[in-house]
Amino acid sequence: MNTLQLVETIKQIENGNILIPQGFKASGVHAGLRYSKKDIGVIFSEVPASAAAVYTQNIVQAAPINVTKESISVTGKLHGIVVNSACANACTGEQGLRDAYEMRQLTAQKFGLEDQAFAVASTGVIGEYLDMEKIKKGIDLIEITDTPEAAEDFGSAILTTDIVTKSCGYETVIDGKVVKMGGAAKGSGMIHPNMATMLGFITTDAAIEPASLQEALSAITNDTFNQITVDGDSSTNDMVLVLANGEAGNESLSKAHPEWPVFLNLLKQTSESLAKQIAKDGEGATKLIEVNVHGMDKKQDAQMMAKTIVGSNLVKTAAFGSDANWGRIIAAMGRSGVDFQPTQTTIAFGDIVVLNEGEPVQFSEEEAKAYLENKNITINVFLHDGDESGTAWGCDLTYDYVKINGSYRS
């Protein structure tokens, strides 16, 4: 089955969310960690779900990551996750670790389960302790349902500087059974995975063992979540967690399953959707930028170059100003660490070619400016070193980014 056929097997669900797969419920409440907005959320599977996760590669890692790793290591299965916003519980020492364990314990007790049945995630300001009285209050308020409103409440509870909630849903057929997958995420600033200030949660009713689910998530992460950047900073907290509860009734998936590529594509499309929503909602952003690099010998090199371009502050500010300054693009390519032939490079904004085979091209500045004023911008780079391509996503850099981050803590 080729790539196009795989894509066509996946159907996007309108207004999809983390609760479209069978057997999941959620909630989001206001506990007082934030002034008036929801700040504690829970996703819950009615049966134990296979779990897989990827984490920030920052050497400094927050307490909740350690607790989540421990929970998953016990059996590879979870009933759910509890998340708070407003406080990252990072760089908080032994007290922070105790608080993360207590947060897990309180949630497990709420549902009458063992502590290890839950993962924990936090997001917000680094270097502050959790207000455990408010955490207790919030967990006590949790009432899970499987309604769209509950999914939205969860999505709202995990936000920090985000402007909008981020969610999606897809479905496909495996072994003659309808398999659904939903996602929710947060992320707006300190975005430069591997991973970044982002939390991603994916639910599916597919049947798959933990080891195979981890293999699938690890396989698609470099092409999705690790190909977004907002500001070049990687955070201390962040993770993508996938829960698969098997309620769809398909035969357990693994590499040996004939429809394994279908499941991989389902997970990839879900992850890519969330990743692009995060990039689009970068702090102060007004535009989503996609960079495609074609014609490299190695996929990794193409991805590295694409991410360098989309992460360039000069490219990002030019996008904000709708300035077709292609010189900034080729300059970013030159410092990407990837070897290429500048004299064989073609660059285009959408379909508007501005550099052809290393030579400047006469183009309409008015037409280019009009294109760059769109909310979604594509930069295409064509080389002649191979057949591999790479894509990365980011956003423009605006005045508001400085305004938001100049007073983030205070």
* DSSP per-residue letters across 224-288: TGGGB-SSS---SS-EEEEEE--TT-PPPB-TTSTTHHHHHHHHHHHHHHHHHHHHHT-TT---E
Q: Can you name the CATH fold of 3-278?
A: L-amino peptidase D-ALA esterase/amidase (3.60.70)
Q: How far apart are CA 134 and CA 144, in angstroms?
A: 19
Number of C-alpha atoms within 13 angstroms, CB side, residue 13? 22
Residue 244 has pLDDT above 90, yes or no: yes
User: Which listed residue (68, 107, 197, 224) is catalytic?
Assistant: 197
Closest CA to 229 of 151, 332, 369: 332
Residue 402 pLDDT? 73
> pLDDT by residue (tens digit) across 344-387?
999 999 999 999 999 999 999 999 999 999 999 999 999 999 99
> pLDDT by residue (tens digit) across 291-336?
999 999 999 999 999 999 998 999 999 999 999 999 999 999 999 9
Q: How far apart are CA 339 and CA 304, in angstroms?
A: 11
pLDDT (mean) for 262-277: 96
Mean of the per-residue pLDDT values of the chain: 91
Residue 232 has pLDDT above 60, yes or no: no
- Does the annotation count 197 as an active-site position? yes
Q: Is pLDDT larger for residue 124 or for residue 257?
A: 257
Q: Is 130 helix (H, G, I), strand (E, B) or coil?
A: coil
Q: How far apart are CA 157 and CA 142, in angstroms?
A: 12
pLDDT (mean) for 196-214: 91
> pLDDT by residue (tens digit) across 127-168?
999 999 999 999 999 999 999 999 999 999 999 877 789 999
Residue 109 pLDDT? 98
Residue whose token pair is 């509950």: 150
Query: Is the Cβ–Cβ distance between 389 and 302 less than 8 Å?
Result: yes
Query: Is the Cβ–Cβ distance between 354 and 313 less than 8 Å?
Result: no
Q: Can you name the CATH fold of 288-406?
A: Ubiquitin-like (UB roll) (3.10.20)
DSSP letter, residue 19: T
> pLDDT by residue (tens digit) across 37-54?
999 999 999 999 999 999
Residue 187 pLDDT? 77
Query: Counting Cβ atoms within 10 Å, is residue 334 exposed (0-12), middle (13-18) or buried (19+)?
Result: middle
- What are the extents of the domains in the chain? 3-278, 288-406
Q: How far apart are CA 8 and CA 16, in angstroms?
A: 18
